[in-house]
Each structure stands twice: as structure tokens, then as C-alpha cells.
Structure 1
């Protein structure tokens, strides 16, 4: 299906969007060997808007004119002064067009004027193009990794973007 990048919009997620976000993530995971998507390992997708709101954040979706979800990004506020980036995914057809940057801008706009001094994230070590994207935004890989004992058996890198202020280290 052809997606017209000139007719896309970003909107807040609703709780009804969980299956569409799951479909988006499953499509991205399918691009990588040994990276299966198992819905049960993403309980936040049962009611994504409520989940992110309960954690001090939000989930934003990039949608077509027909409201098909083709991108996502979310954030939470796990502790004072820190935001954590989640679910930054984009269908393959739309990558390299600045749309992931637009999604990330939704997060920074939502955090503007808050006490957030740093944004952190975890990313699968296999998602190399994602690492390059985060580094272009100014994120720095941290000396910490973690193992996910889930269907993906993934190792993840920690990244951090300092915005200023007195945010604690991850």
C-alpha cells in the first residue's frame, strides 16, 4: 500500500489504538531475525492512552488520512526531572523523510516548560538505524545494557539526552 507522506497527521493515541500500534510494532520487528512480536509481552497496548497517562506521559501516533497508524512515539515520567522515550516506530516506507524527528518533536513539545532535564530510552542492540537516529538527535549511549528475557531475547542499549537542569543519571 502506498502511503502519501503529504497527508499524514500526528494525534494523541486513544485506548482503542492498541491493536493498531501492535500491528505497527510487529511489522518493524519482522524486519529483524529472531525478533518475534508477542502481544502478551506488551500489556501497555491493551489501553495505551490510559497506560501512558498513568505514568505521567502520552503516546502519539502518526496516521494517514484514513487514520491508519504508520508511526508512534510515547513517553513516561518515571521520576522527577526525567522522561523516558518509548515506542518510537515508523513503517519502513516512511523512514528517511524526517517523520521520526516530527514524532520526537511531539514529545519535546509536550515536555516544554516541565522540570525534565533528561530523556532516556532503551533500544534493541539490533536496531542500528535507530541508534544512528538517536545519536543525530544528541542522545549518547550509556555504558549500561540490559537483557530482556522475552520472546526476542534482546539485549538493549541505554541512551540519554541531557536537556539541562538537574536530572539524575539513569
Structure 2
């Protein structure tokens, strides 16, 4: 089956009935990585109720199929620039179907989170990314995110370790 061009898709806030498509997309994005699984019943329960589990959760859909996601939560962030904690958002759940990659979808999704942060008076964005997702790290770097050197272990079924990235937004 041919895949839609991103411009033919609808970008909108997620609804809870998008959950099966969101979970399927995340599973697809995890599938190239050995020992990388998704468990929505114990570890990723927010994916079952995306409309209420995050400050914002967006989906890029074509028909009833989810092709990309991004979400954010709001909390204070230490951008690591010596100025201390500041209001911020955490960028979460940025996943793009492999067929739609390299079309600017991730850039467009990250811009949504950054625009949301600015509109809420939260000038800093942070994200944590699985150490295995090197392509995503390169995308975040191109979009101005700084890898802080911090690393954390999630102690989950996938033995996930994550790198922290931050960006102070221009006002």
C-alpha cells in the first residue's frame, strides 16, 4: 500500500480512541532495535489515554491511521546554563512512521511543542531519548537541542537508558 505524503495528513490533538494507532506506531518505531519493547499496561499507561495523560498530545493521521505523534508535559527545567530552574516543558513521544521520515515531519512536530511552551510562558524544553535512537539524536541536534551529558536508566523491560537534551527557546 502506498503511504500518504505528510501534507495529505491531518495534524490534530489526540483523542483517547487514537490509542491503538499510537501504540502500533510506537511498536513499529521500536521494532528495529533489539530488546526494545512497549508495555502499555505497566510502563507506558499514558498511551492508553493520550488526550488526558499529557499537557498536549498531537497525532498526524491519514484516515484512521496514526503516522506520527508528539506530546509534552509541563514542569520546571534546569537548562544547565547556570541560571537555575525555569518553567519548561518536556518533549515526549516523538515518533514518525518510517515511510514519512525525511519529509520534515519531526521538525514540524517539535515546533508544535516549542510553540506550546512559548505560549505558556515556558522558555525551556527538555527531552530524554533512548541511547539507541541515534538518528533521533541527530535530528534534535539539528533543531538546536544540546545533549547535556546526563544519562538515566529507566529499569524497564527494555533496559532503557536515556540521554537528556535541552533547548532554551528564543523569546
TM-score by length of 1: 0.89
**How much is the aligned-residue C-alpha RMSD, in angstroms?**
1.4
Q: Secondary structure at the match of 1:62?
A: strand
In terms of mean alpha carbon deviation, does 30-39 or 150-159 score higher?
A: 30-39
User: Which consecutive unaligned segments of at least 5 residues does structure 2 have?
Assistant: 77-85
2:47 aligns to what? 45
In terms of mean alpha carbon deviation, does 147-156 or 74-83 score higher?
A: 74-83
1:128 aligns to what? 134
Deviation at 1:112, TM superposition (A): 3.0
User: Which consecutive unaligned segments of at least 5 residues does structure 1 have?
Assistant: 166-170
Deviation at 1:36, TM superposition (A): 1.6
Q: Secondary structure at the match of 2:119?
A: coil
Q: 2:150–2:164: 8 Å Cα contact kept in structure 1?
A: yes
Residues in 2 aligned to 1:67 and 1:124: alpha-carbon distance in whole angstroms: 28
Q: 1:10–1:103: 8 Å Cα contact kept in structure 2?
A: no
Deviation at 1:164, TM superposition (A): 4.9
Q: 2:88–2:117: 8 Å Cα contact kept in structure 1?
A: no
1:168 aligns to what? none
2:26 aligns to what? 25
Deviation at 1:108, TM superposition (A): 2.1
Q: Deviations over 1:68-119 (max 9, x none)?
A: 1010000110236110000000011111110111111222222333221110
Residues in 2 aligned to 1:30 and 1:98: alpha-carbon distance in whole angstroms: 22
2:56 aligns to what? 58
Residues in 2 aligned to 1:61 and 1:127: alpha-carbon distance in whole angstroms: 20
TM-score by length of 2: 0.88
Which 4+ stretches in 1 moved above 3 angstroms? none
2:81 aligns to what? none
Q: Deviations over 1:41-86 (max 9, x none)?
A: 111012111111xxxx20000111x131010000110236110000
